[in-house]
Structure 1
Amino acid sequence: RQYKKSSAKNKMNRPVLTLLLWCILVTWPAARAVPEVQLGSGKLLGLETQVGNKTVFKFLGIRFAESPTGDRRFSKPQASPLPNTTVNASSMAPACPAVITFLPADNEDEDCLFLNVFVPSISAGGRLPVMVWIYGGAFSAGNANAYDAEVLAADGDVIVVTFNYRLGPFGFLSTGDSASMGNYGLWDQNLALKWVQANIRHFGGDDTSITLIGESAGAASVSYHAISPHSAGLFHRVIQQSGTYLAPWARVMSPPRDAAVRLARMVNCTHASDTLVDTRIMVDCLRRQPVSAIVSACGQLFTDNVMTDMLDYLWLPVQDDDFVPQPDHVRKFPGPIMLGLNNHEGGYFIFEVLKVAGVHPDIWTKIYRRDFYRDHYLPFMIQTVYTDTTSNDTSQSMEDAVRLLDCAYRTPGSNETHVTQAELEDVYGDQEFYVSTTQYLLGEPSTDNVYLYYFDHYPHAQGGETGMNHAADLPFTFGFTGQLGAANGFPENVSDVDLTNPNQPVPLWTSVTWPPYTKGDQYYLVVSPSPGVTSRLRADKMAVWLTGVSSLLQTGQVDNTEWNTCLGHTSRGSHEMTLSFAGFSVLLLLQVVWGRLN
């Protein structure tokens, strides 16, 4: 566009305009420079934010893999080249499609393999420890965008990386053969870790001090990386909040091909009348289906499963003898390991998941009946721990195992016709989280590098539940506790306490020395307004599961007076119920960032 020359009138107004502009400039705050990072032959332009009196630079929506669409669906991810131009990294990228509708994201797209980097302001040449976060969601929901890590980065003085990985069948569809091997979500995570290892130094991060941390399915993912040869050397410490790869919800319990075929039938990629299914043709057909059709079918499959198989999730990691090795080839992680459990892990699942999933109301009438509890609920719980049994096992040993659990978890107010919600929640929480975590801990070599904490805090603002439910510790992890953290005098922000090393007393909070967890002592740190160290977490219930039930299934007998009383047997012994068998913000704890830590 061409402009005319200024007239005399315009010239007369120029001093007024100049004065106005000068007033604006001196009264407006100085514009902040856009943070940028040189990456490859290009650069990333982020954004700056203030957290209290600290500055955090955020670089968002950074691509680390090619779009996993088309022929790349149901395939390992392919690394994306570094940018060769200037890239705007000031907004979140889309989340991966979730297939469980009670955890929706605002913006989803199959092209979703992006990561975010949160960097506290540091002086030139500094090298900060790095924390890489893996979100949970039963491997079927969740996204990195839900976890703004600016507070964690600022208060922890660490660089935090979050990333997306594929969910549901997009990340975990397996046919049990080469047509679709599965574990694609784990491969996505692995590629993100490789990106961090290769590039985090450009953000001021120390690539020799990387802590991998996750919650629930994210924690199970962390432990999968700890044992996988493909992730060796990509990180140096692990923190697992409420989960390990041994958890029954962290691995496929039934042949994965069955779920793949059920999904294919729902989107007309095979038919119920097909006696032989060519898995390659079936998977190729699934690659051509719209995301919406697959997500809708998965929602129906999830609801059907809740009605018939409790919470037996379908899209989970599988032992592929590649990323997930055979048990006798599991790698022992050489670095420090921290695990944590909440005091009410089972509450979220029984009280919320079934309700929000839109299950038919009849399930509530049924699930509280003691005959259903004995005939279906407890056998299913046993079968997920002892996978060589079946939930329809009618043997005397299974019947006795059910009777033992029924007796061990009785609560005031229960009777012979109905169970209490506390019974359902306690059994579920122990079976889903405590048993597998105890097995994991006892399977680790005796070192001075394994630590366990127990989050024993009740945030009153949480609602009707009576404890720290599954995932209720996340506000403490990321520093968004608000009124939750202040309840009962609990430190509102993890940074109020700096655990620089778990072997040192905790300053500003209390003088507690946190000893490692060993098979003999089994010490753990109690995180509460009155913290302390004790040993043998839920020892009586763990003994019931890992000694009593195990012994009944294998030999039909137990050598314990109290257990035999439960079973109506003559006492065969008087041994105590002990675990002598073979077989917050939490940033307070997270700032254990050992390497900063070590």
Structure 2
Amino acid sequence: MAMLGLLLAAALCLGSASAASLGTVMTEGGMVSGDNYGVSGLFRYMDVFKGIPFAAPPGRFEKPQPHPGWDGVLKAKDFRKRCLQVNLIQTMTRGDEDCLYLNIWVPQGRKEVSTNLPVMVWLFGGGFLVGASSGANFLDNYLYDGEEIANRGNVIVVTLTYRVGTLGFLSTGDDGIPGNYGLWDQHAGIAWVHRNIKAFGGDPDNITVFGESAGGASVNFQLITPMNKGLIRRGISQSGVALCPWAINRNPRQFAELVATRVGCPTDDKMVACLKMTDAVALTLAGTLEMHGSPETPIVKALVLSPVIDGDFLPDDPRNLFVNAADRDYIAGANDMDGHIFTGLDVPSVNQPIQSTPVEDLRVLVASFTKEKGQQAADLAYNEYTSTWGSRPSKVEVKRAIVEVETDYTFLIPTQAALYQHNSIATTGRTYSYLFSQGNRNPGFPSWMGADHADDLQYVFGKPFATPLGYWPKHRDVSRYMIAYWTNFAKTGDPNKGESDVPVNWPPFNNQTHQYVEINHRMGRNSVKQKLRLRFVNYWTNTFSALPTISE
């Protein structure tokens, strides 16, 4: 036994000595070096590059420009600062204007470096207001660490930063400050990957863009804009698409004038010049949103720092741009209680197990979502969401209905609409639909809770493997399934085909079978289902849309 231990130790030492590594890599801006270390799996290694600039420090309310390059070797070993933004409670700022950097994880074997690997580019979420390419951090455990995906799926993972908040998405609705700077940053990062990833062992013609929430909507925008022709092969949108009600601001001038007033700028023809000269921190703080929800004023209505139809990056309404994604494969889905993140703020009693939630709160919430169509729309929607109730609905029935309304309106129904839209125009592009329903792990939430907004992130990024003491075996199953589906899809355009085994065959989505897969730890043949909330999809996309608009 002792001899066996010595032999194993010697083997590990030899493996370490001959570890495959890219070493110094030549990019268009200059040479970069990162870190190389061993990962789980016999003689597996990872090259990691953090903080490579993909564009120059951005000008105020300007599109990103190419980076001028650098002399010598850039040490790419640390995450760079996030883009300048408000903190989570919107009382101060953090980050920097010089923020357009990306990070790369490249899996390696024992002796030979990887070549021609599929590439997955991650776009973070945060309501277009906050976020970073590294994600939340606890004791150097970064949420968006690409190691587990890259190692387990044998793909290159890239995470990139883009401008958010006022500096990323303020728009005057005209040529003064057109907006969409965060989307242009994403595009610049994707284009950099396409031009440079071959030097890191990646296939520039097999790039999958994936993201969650605002990042999921961003994926959809990057797929449908005409700017990315030839750059992207596939996309995965988690809990966010271009058709979400918060994804487009159709009256950006109103908020631009509010920001101008807050920083002491005029709102006439001198407004743009004044805003461009205003201190960046002051501008960022002036972009705080009113996040005090109630059934009358749900928080989703306050998310106004978002992309706009600028006639450039988005030359038309997103609904009319899906033709640009006709040859792209697309996965889109939602969490079964995605809306709970907002419901807990709009209707706090939902999370109080003893306290009842008044039925009137549901009526008011529905009316706020259907306001532009008037009382008839509100009554029809209320009837849809209470159709299974008896004369005395239980506490849980009322609370669940409120969560379902927010989930449907904010995430799930727009996602289904995007799937139908993509499938209807697809030529060679394949379409896949999913519902994520692994129960929330917060012990303070009600027992009936499903998957809240962002609950899927920990599984996609392999946290049950990276921090095993915090999870049960069933959570590692969920993570294994999602990484397998996601990386198979990145390789082949089919989530079932690739190097990783999957728990059940995931059929394509189409307008005839309406099939989707439900993702949780109990996956099997019963996980393939049909017609996800079709009754409510029909209400919002057909009945509600057909009603006349009576107010803006």
Deviates more, 1:145-154 or 1:259-268: 145-154
2:457 counterpart residue number: 474
Residue equivalent to 1:350: 343
Say if 2:76 is the partner of 1:95: no
Given that 1:264 and 1:282 are in contact with CA atoms closer than 8 Å, whether structure 2 keeps it comes out as: yes
Secondary structure in 1 matching 2:332: strand
**TM-score of the two chains, using structure 2 as the length reference:** 0.81
What's the offset of the Cα at 1:102?
4.5
Question: How many Å apart are 1:291 and its aligned residue?
Answer: 3.1
Could you tell me which of 424, 437, 457 is aligned with 1:456? 437
Report deviation, 1:298: 2.6
Question: 1:308 offset after TM fit, Å?
Answer: 4.3
Distance in 2 (CA, whole Å) between partners of 1:506 and 1:522 is 27
User: Match for 1:425 among 403, 422, 426?
Assistant: 403
Mapped contact 2:259–2:286 kept (Cα < 8 A): yes
* Shift, 1:411, TM fit: 8.7
| Equivalent residue number for residue 332 of structure 1 | 324
What is the distance in 1 between the residues matched to 2:71 and 2:131? Answer: 31
Tell me, yes or no, if the aligned pair for 2:149 and 2:461 is still in contact at 8 Å: yes
Offset of residue 238 of structure 1: 0.8
- Is the counterpart of residue 379 in structure 1 residue 367 in structure 2? yes
- Does the Cα contact within 8 Å between 2:93 and 2:281 map onto a contact in 1? no
Residue deviations 1:529-573 (CA, integer Å, cap 9, x gap): 23221111122332333344345x2599xxxxxxxxxxxxxxxxx
| 2:200 is the alignment partner of 1:207 | no
Return the offset for 1:180.
Answer: 0.3
What residue number does 1:533 align with?
528
Q: Which amino acid is the alignment partner of residue 380 of structure 2?
A: A
Task: Tell me if structure 2 keeps the 8 A contact 1:515–1:524.
Answer: yes
Greater mean alpha carbon deviation, residues 440-449 or residues 343-352: 440-449
Structure 1 residues 406 and 535: CA distance shift in structure 2, 3 A: closer
1:323 is the counterpart of 2:306:
no
Counterparts of 2:131 and 2:443 in 1: how far apart (Å)?
20
Q: Which residue of 2 aligns with 1:398?
A: 377
Q: Distance in 2 between matches of 1:187 and 1:461?
A: 36
Q: Which residue number corresponds to residue 508 of structure 2? A: 516
Inter-CA distance 95–285: structure 2 relative to 1 (3 Å threshold): same
1:303 corresponds, among 278, 291, 306, to 291
Asked if the contact 2:128–2:214 (Cα under 8 Å) also holds between the matched residues in 1, the reply is yes
How far did 1:310 drift? 3.1
Q: 1:83 is aligned with what amino acid? A: W
Once residues 461 and 186 of structure 2 are traced to their aligned partners in structure 1, the CA distance between those partners, rounded to angstroms, is 20
- The structural deviation recorded for 1:410 is 5.3
1:223 to 176, 197, 220: 220
Per the normalisation by structure 1, the TM-score is 0.75
Q: Summarize the alignment of residues 61-210 of structure 1 with structure 2, pairs less than 5 Å apart.
A: 61-68=51-58, 72-99=59-86, 101-102=88-89, 108-122=95-109, 123-124=112-113, 126-146=115-135, 147-210=144-207
Tell me how far 1:296 sits from its aligned partner: 2.8
Q: How far apart, in 2, do the equivalents of 1:314 and 1:210 lie?
A: 30
Shift of 1:98: 2.5
- Structure-1 separation of matches of 2:17 and 2:414: 55
Q: Which amino acid aligns with 1:266?
A: R
Which residue does 2:260 correspond to in 1? 264
- Give the Å deviation of 1:475: 0.7
| Equivalence for 1:543 | 538
Equivalent residue letter for 1:165: Y
Q: Distance in 1 between matches of 2:29 and 2:497?
A: 44
Query: For the Cα contact (< 8 Å) 2:87–2:93, is it kept in 1?
Result: no
Q: How has the CA–CA distance of structure 1 residues 264 and 90 changed in structure 2, closer, same or farther, with 3 Å as cutoff?
A: same
Could you list the runs of 5+ residues in structure 1 that have no partner in the other structure?
1-25, 271-276, 356-366, 384-388, 557-598
Asked if 1:442 corresponds to 2:420, the answer is: yes
Of the structure 1 ranges 448-457 and 465-474, higher mean CA displacement relative to structure 2 is found in: 448-457
1:486 is aligned to: 472
The 2-side partners of 1:160 and 1:493 are apart by 16
For the residues of structure 2 that align with 1:405 and 1:474, how far apart are their CA atoms? 31
**Shift of residue 332, structure 1, vs aligned partner:** 3.2
- Kept in 2: contact 1:114–1:163 (CA 8 A): yes
Percent of residue pairs identical: 32
Distance 1:451 1:404 in 2: 31
1:187, distance to aligned residue in structure 2 (A): 0.3
The 2-side partners of 1:378 and 1:419 are apart by 16
Preserved contact between residue 341 and residue 434 of structure 1 (Cα < 8 Å): yes
In structure 2, C-alpha distance between the alignment counterparts of 1:132 and 1:105, rounded to whole Å: 30
Distance verdict in 2 for CA 1:326–1:92, change over 3 Å: same
Partner SS, residue 118 of structure 2: strand
Equivalent pair of 2:459/2:475 in contact (CA under 8 Å): no
1:67 Cα shift?
Answer: 1.2
Partner of 1:559: none
RMSD: 3.5
Tell me what 2:24 maps to: 36
Residue 41 to residue 337, structure 1, CA distance change in 2 (3 Å): closer
- The size of the alignment, in residue pairs, is 496
By how many angstroms is 1:82 displaced? Answer: 3.6
Q: Is the 8 A contact 2:87 2:94 kept in 1?
A: no
In 2, the alpha carbon distance for the partners of 1:136 and 1:185 equals 12
Q: Contact 1:485/1:493 (CA < 8 Å) preserved in 2?
A: no
Summarize the Cα distance change of 1:210–1:126 in structure 2 as closer, same or farther, 3 Å threshold: same
Q: 1:497 to 1:242 in 2, by over 3 A?
A: closer
User: For residues 103 and 435 of structure 1, what CA distance do their matches in structure 2 show?
Assistant: 29
Please give the secondary structure, in 2, of the residue aligned with 1:191. Answer: helix
Change (3 A) 1:490 1:454: farther
CA spacing shift, 1:113–1:43, aligned 2, 3 Å? same
CA contact (8 A) 2:244 2:411 kept: yes
Alignment match, 1:568: none
Q: In structure 2, what is the Cα distance between the partners aligned to 1:85 and 1:411?
A: 73
- Residue identity opposite 1:526 in structure 2: E
Deviation at 1:303, TM superposition (A): 3.4
Alpha-carbon deviations, 1:130-179, whole Å to 9, x = none? Answer: 00000011111111021111221111111111111000111111101111
Counterpart code for 1:258: Q
- Structure 2: runs of 5 or more not aligned: 1-12, 136-143, 349-355, 489-493
Closer/same/farther in 2, CA of residues 541 and 339 from structure 1, 3 Å limit: same
Contact persistence 1:264–1:286 (CA under 8 A): yes
Aligned-partner residue type, residue 216 of structure 2: A
